[in-house]
Each structure stands twice: as structure tokens, then as C-alpha cells.
Amino acid sequence: MSEPAEKKENIPDASAGKGIPNGGSPAKTQEDFDLATIYVSDAQYNRNIYFDTSPQAVRLYLLYNHWALKVLLYFFILVNLSLAIFEEPALVSLPTWATMLVELLCLLVFTIRLVHYAKVIPREKFWKDPKNICIIIVLLLTLIDMIIYGALKAANLYSVRWSRVLRPLLLINVTEGRQLRRAFRSIRNALPEVSSVFVLFIFSVLMFSLMALKLLSKRGLKTIEGASYFTNYLEIVFDLYVLVTTANSPDVMMPAYNANSIFALFFILYILVNTYIFMSVFLAVVFNNYKKHLKEEIRQLVRAKRHKMARAFGVLQEQREEGGPPVVSHENWNKLVQQARPDISSAHRELLWRVCDDGNQGFIGKVAFVQLADLLNIEVITLKSRPHPLQSLIPSLYESKPSRLVCRVVQHRGFVITFDLIILVNAVFIGLDEENPLISNSEWVFLALYVLEILLKLYAFEPRAFFSKHSFWNWFDTIVVVAALIATIVNSALKSSGGYTSRQVLDIVFILRVLRLIRVVDGIKRFRAIINTLIRIGPAILTFGQLILVVYYVFAMVGMELFKNKVKFYEDATNPEKAYCGNPLLKGSTFAQLSYCKNNFNNVVSSFILLLELTVVNQWHVLGTGFATVTHKSALIFFVLFHVMVVIIIINIFVAFVLEAFFVEYSVGKGDLQTSLERKIEELELTVAQEKLEDNLVNAMETIDNDLGSGQSPTANLPSLLFKVASKRYRTVDALLQRMFEADLDPEDFAENDIPEDQAGNFENPTFGVA
């Protein structure tokens, strides 16, 4: 980096500014920096918390946002949710008092966190926020339920732990559940339109069912089970609803079709209208609403971010000349960034400053300051050009001709191709029977080759760069190979010692062997692009994981209360009850015939697996009918409701999200800020040569972002530090979402004048519209 010291001299004394209207005392106190830091980090992570600005509250708020407390909170939420494993009906039985005690502990932690939050924000705001009210109600109801349950249990009376359904609400309502709340909001927003399409769709199903009743009921047709076919209206409605999910096609049609080919027309028309057209319309409506409302939310988010940054500016601003615009000095800016992001290097900070202070004035105005939050969100990779440690230790050997030849061979494209071919041969060997001694011994050869490959690479490339945190495939490769080596050795040791092969160890060995093959994909450019896209949208998909978890949890709790122990699974194959899942009502049913007994609600794990099967849809009517047989016909409502909730709404939102993310990946280029940052890096001649990157073997393996580190040959005429913008990496899900819609957003939402003047100047807390 070039001389920051020299520049500092250019900065006039900060105290030169005077007569600042809004509390800008020339020397900023630690409180000011605390406050500004909070504004910046709130803007950076899109937190919209209306906190108290008193120094005390600010310190509490800084503590509130500490990562350790958040991890602790999520840990206890997880513990609270996992209690379902140990509660009746339990996978692993624990005494009631034990689970109750743990739950009490969880409740205590949640209460403390809530009290902490209440101390941070003004009282009236606390009581106005539905999130807090919701948490308080959940905590109270849980406590009441626990007392009632404990009392009834003590009196040996039947009781239900109904408050368990409420547990996932905590996941939604904690301050950090922003993404999840947004996902739920987009569902809620889509609901009015989805429901009118749904009513129309149900109307269509009812009409078709009525027609089927009139046309088919009097013909005396039989299903293959010998039951009467299409004679009961409600059963027809259910059958045709199932047909929409395609789960009973073509079976539901066959009796009519076998009787007369013309009836196929009825079913073709039905499938066309309801399965194809209506289901596409559902996707279209969900997608459209999702897009529309998300766009609106992101717009508000961007606006709120500007407000917060303007506020941070207000705290740190000083007046350089009478009547001139307020500015922030380099010194104060530096101190702020240091506090907001202690992890970034001073060189990196200097780079960011250069981007902000384009004119090299030593201070920046509001416009340049406001973009700091976005700048901090751009991931810049700092590369240290270091010589290979062997070069420092034994330079004569490392620089010798054979050593250089080895390095060149390893960096050659042929090296990758050779190992790709070895992997393919390995794949064939894995497919063959491993009990053949030739095959099992060949495994040692392959392992040796892979270890050799890694050692060669470590020889040719700088090890710290090879294992830099962005080198996904290097890490993957090394871990898999080393793990396979250990597991194979353990396996042979077990085998030769006692002639006994541990099934578990062998399974691990097999999995690791197959995992190794995945690397071949990375060698092909087209595939890499697709995989990178998938990896990039991965974190955002996690939000849907939480969404699914919440919905599954609620359905699992209800399902366990309704259906527990109605269907039993017997490990013992000789048990006669196994044939009908321990419930005589299931004798001869399709459910039992297909040996679905393990698909039951007897514990939370099998409930989740069952719900996943219902999500996949196929045979869900068999599962549903099975549980309806052992309880009551109305139990089908549970299964239909699950289908509507999960398959029609949530899966469609998931598909909408994937589609949108893909379109953004394909169409959105770099943002303005990113471009200006890259330009600045280039200007300062700190950029990584692009040709180097392209030709470089190791780089070709590092797919997540084109981190370098090992690209430079051991010549040292390059600057000792290089920067590179991680081209398309998003630090937060919010950032991806913002990027998704930035292209569509009205440019004026980013304009400085968007901040109302009456709010921009003073230090009062913002009033954000977003909950």
C-alpha cells in the first residue's frame, strides 16, 4: 500500500469545523463512535431496530448484537425444538421432569433475551411491536401448559402438551428471524390472490366430480380392489383432488377407461384443466406476488439503510468552513470502520477510503459516506504475495531445474486431465465387487495417487494460499482424501486384527470413495458455472429450510397427537402383527400391503420423514387413507391441508425463489459500487492480473471466487499485497435479495435527496416503516 501517513498531513484539524448546528462537537467521544458504529452495522445487516440512543442503551445494544449471544439464543431455540425427540411419543425416552426442566431453562433464556431487548429500545416501542407480544404470549402459554400437564400427569390423567405447536413461533419472532418473517410475509401477501384461484380450482374439481358422479356411478364399475367405483360424491372429490397431484394416475381412470375408451376424454380434460393449467396458474400467481411484494420490501430496506447511514453521518459530521457542507474526516472515518469491522486489515480500510474519497481531499461528504454500508458488504480478498516456504528454507533446491520442472508439470492442464482420467477409472473400480482382492488392493493405489496429487500441489503452490478460506475444492479434496486414508487404514486394521469388518467404518469408506469422484465435475467449465450458481443461492435456500422446519414442526406435533401409535412398525419379521402394522383395521389395506408401517407419527423423526413423503406427493393418498382407516375419515383433512400448505404454497414459493435467483444470476452485472471499487484497485495497480488467473491451475480449481494466492511465480517484483473483489459473492441473504431487485428499483430510491431533510440533519432516531 502507498503511504497513508503522507495523506494524513493533508487533513486539516478536525476542530477547524465550528458552529455545527446539530451537536457536532469537534472532538468525537467514544459514545459518538459507538452510536455511529451501530448505525453502520445496522445498515450493513439491514437491522431495523428502533433503539434508544442514550449511551447506556447503546452499549447494551452493542452487547445485544454480539455474535455469541445470538449463537446462544439459536442454540436454545434448537434445544427447545429438539425436546420433541425426548417427549412422549419419544424417540429416546426421558423422564418428564427432565424435559420439563430443560424447557424451563429455555424459557428462562428467552425471557432474559427479551428483557435485554426491552432495555435497548424505548418502552412504548417495545409494547407496540407484535413480535414481542407474540413471544410473551408464547412463553406464558407454554408455562401454563407445563403447569397443567405436570398437574394432570401427577394425577395420572390424560393430558396433551398442546403448547408444543407454538415452539416454532419463537424461531419466527426473535429479532434475528428477519428472513423468515419476510418469507412468511410474502406468503401472507400472496394469500388473497392464491385463495381466489384456489376457490376457482376447487369449484372446478367439484364440477368435474359432479359430472363424474352422474356419468359413472350407475354403471356398476369396480376398482381393482373390487370396491364400487365413483359412487360416493365425497370420495370422487377426494379421488379427483388426488389426481391433481398425479399420485393416483392412471389407476383412478382405469375402471372407466376399461369400460369405455370415451371416458378417457373426461380424465384428459380434467388433467389438462386442473393439473396443468391450474397448477401453473398457482405458480404464476405465487411467483408474481412474491416478486411484487419482495420488490416493495427491498425498496423500503434500501431506504431505511440510507436513513441509518445519514444518521451515522450526522453523528460524526463536522463543519470545515462556515456555511459549507458538513463532512467526516479521514481520522473519524477510520476509527468508525475499525470499530464496525475490526476484522478487516488496515490496507483494506485504506483502499475503501480511497474509493470514498475519490478526490483525495482528506474528508468526505454525505453522499460518499452513505455508501459505506454497501462498501463493507463487498467482499474484498486480500492476497499476500508470499514466497513458498521451501523457497525460503532451501532456495537452492527449490529453484533447481528438476524442482521447477515439477512445478511446471503440476501447473500444466495435462495434470488435471490425467487425474480426471484416474478418477474415472477409479469410478469403474468402485462399481465392481470390492470383495475381489484385486479390486480391494487397487484402492490403495488410488489412495496413494490422490495423496501424491495433494503433496505435489502443496509443493508447487504456496500452502497458505492453497488452503485459503475461499478454496472450496482444495479443502474438499484434502479432507475427503485424508478421511478416506484414515478410514481405509482403520478398516484394514480391524480386518487383519480380528478378521472382522465394521459395517459403519466400511460405509464411511464407501461414501468417501464416491465423494472423491465428485471432483471431476469441477474440471469442466460449464458445470462449474452451474454449480457456482447453486452454491451462491444456497444460503438463501436455507431460509426456506427454516420455513419448511416451522411448517413441518407444527404438522408433526399435531400429527403425533392425532395418530401416535395407531400404526406400529415391528423390527421382528416373524411377528404376525407386522403384516397389518399392529392394527387389525389395516388388514388387507394397500397401506399395509406396501409395508408402509414405518411411515407413522410415533416419534418426531418418523413424523418428519412421513411429512417429507407427503411433500413429494406420490402415494400420499395411500398414506392418508391408511391413517384415515385407523382413525376417522375426517383425518384426510389433515393430509389435504398439508398438501395445500406445503405443495401448493411453499414449494411454489421455493420454485419462484430459485427461478428469480437464476434470472438475477444470468442478467445482473456488477453493481456501481463494486465497479468503482474495482476501478480504484486497478488505479492503484494492486489488481491481480487477469491472464494469470485464467491460466492458473489452482485458480481453475477454486470455483467459489477467483482467489489467487498461488498464481504468482516465485518472482517478487509484484506488490506485496494484492486485492481482488470477490466477483459475485453475497455476504448476507439480504444482500443477494437487494441485488436481485436493485436492477428493477427506481434509481431515485438511491438518491441522496431521498432522505427527508428534517430527519437527515438531526440525531433523532429514525422511524422505519419496516417492522
d(CA 613, CA 608): 9
SS3 237: helix
| Single-letter code of the amino acid located at 309 | M
Query: Do 259 and 221 meet the contact criterion of CB atoms below 8 Å apart?
Result: yes
Burial class (CB in 10 A: 0-12, 13-18, 19+), 500: exposed
- Residue 456 CA, distance from chain mean position: 36
Q: Which of 49, 422, 494, 514 binds a copy of itself (CB under 8 A)?
A: 514
Nearest distance in Å: CB 172, a copy of itself: 23
What minimum distance in Å lies between the beta carbon of 527 and a copy of itself?
Answer: 5
How does 168-185 read in b/e, with b if 16+ C-beta sit within 10 Å?
bbbbbbbbebbbbebbee
- CB nearer to a copy of itself: pick between 486 and 518: 518
Of the residues 56, 228, 232, 280, which one makes contact with a copy of itself according to CB under 8 A: 280
Nearest to a copy of itself of 431, 588 (CB atom)? 431
Helix or strand or coil: residue 722? strand
Judged by CB under 8 A, which stretch of 2-10, 144-152, 484-492, 651-659 contacts a copy of itself? 651-659
Beta-bridge partners for 327:
318
Q: What is the DSSP letter of 668?
A: -
* Complex with a copy of itself: residue 401 or 503, whichever CB lies closer: 503
Spatial strand order in the sheet of 326-329: 318-319, 326-329, 363-364
Instruction: State the Cα–Cα distance between residues 159 and 716, nearest whole angstrom.
Output: 75
C-alpha to C-alpha distance for 417 and 133, rounded to whole angstroms:
61
Q: Which of 33, 39, 45, 287 binds a copy of itself (CB under 8 A)?
A: 287
SS (H, E, C) 366-383: HHHHHCHHHHHHCCEEEE
The three-class DSSP label of residue 671 is coil
| CA dist., res. 694 & res. 413, Å (int) | 12
Per CB under 8 A, 594 contacts a copy of itself = yes
- Return the number of the residue (410 or 537) whose C-beta is nearest a copy of itself: 537
- Nearest 5°: phi and psi at 545? -60, -45
Show the cell assigned to 645.
400448505
Residues 515-544 that bind a copy of itself (CB under 8 A): 517-518, 521, 526-527, 530-531, 534
Q: How far apart are the first and last CA of the chain?
A: 43
* Between 290 and 398, CB nearer to a copy of itself: 290
**Nearest approach, Cβ of residue 427 and a copy of itself (Å):** 7
Contact flag: residue 203 with a copy of itself (CB under 8 A): yes
Q: Specify the residue, 173 or 289, whose C-beta has the smaller distance to a copy of itself.
A: 289
- Answer yes or no whether residue 507 interacts with a copy of itself by CB under 8 A: yes
Binding mask 212-231 for a copy of itself (x = CB under 8 A): -xxx--------x-------
Least Å distance between CB 662 and a copy of itself? Answer: 4
Q: Which stretch in 27-35, 310-318, 378-386, 652-660 sits in contact with a copy of itself by CB under 8 A?
A: 652-660
Closest distance of CB 541 from a copy of itself, Å: 8
439 binds a copy of itself (CB under 8 A): no
> Which residues in the 555-574 window bind a copy of itself by CB under 8 A?
569
Question: How far is it, in rounded angstroms, from Cα 516 to Cα 504?
Answer: 19
- Find the binder of a copy of itself among 162, 184, 662, 750 (CB under 8 A): 662
User: Looking at 156-164, 597-605, 691-699, 725-733, which segment touches a copy of itself (CB under 8 A)?
Assistant: 597-605
Residue 198 as a binder of a copy of itself (CB under 8 A): the answer is no
Question: If binding is defined by CB under 8 A, does position 97 make contact with a copy of itself?
Answer: no
Q: Which of 393, 202, 354, 197 is nearest to 287 (CA)?
A: 197
Q: Which of 618, 690, 713, 762 is close enough to bind a copy of itself by CB under 8 A?
A: 618
Nearer to a copy of itself by Cβ, of 115 and 284: the residue is: 284
* φ and ψ at residue 328, rounded to 5 degrees: -120, 135
Looking at residues 376 to 435 of the shown chain, list those that interact with a copy of itself (rule: CB under 8 A). 427, 430-431, 434
- Judged by CB under 8 A, the stretch of 169-177, 389-397, 513-521, 625-633 that binds a copy of itself is 513-521
Smallest gap from residue 267 Cβ to a copy of itself (A)? 9
* CA pair distance 562, 639, nearest whole angstrom: 12
Residue 20 is placed in which grid cell?
455545527
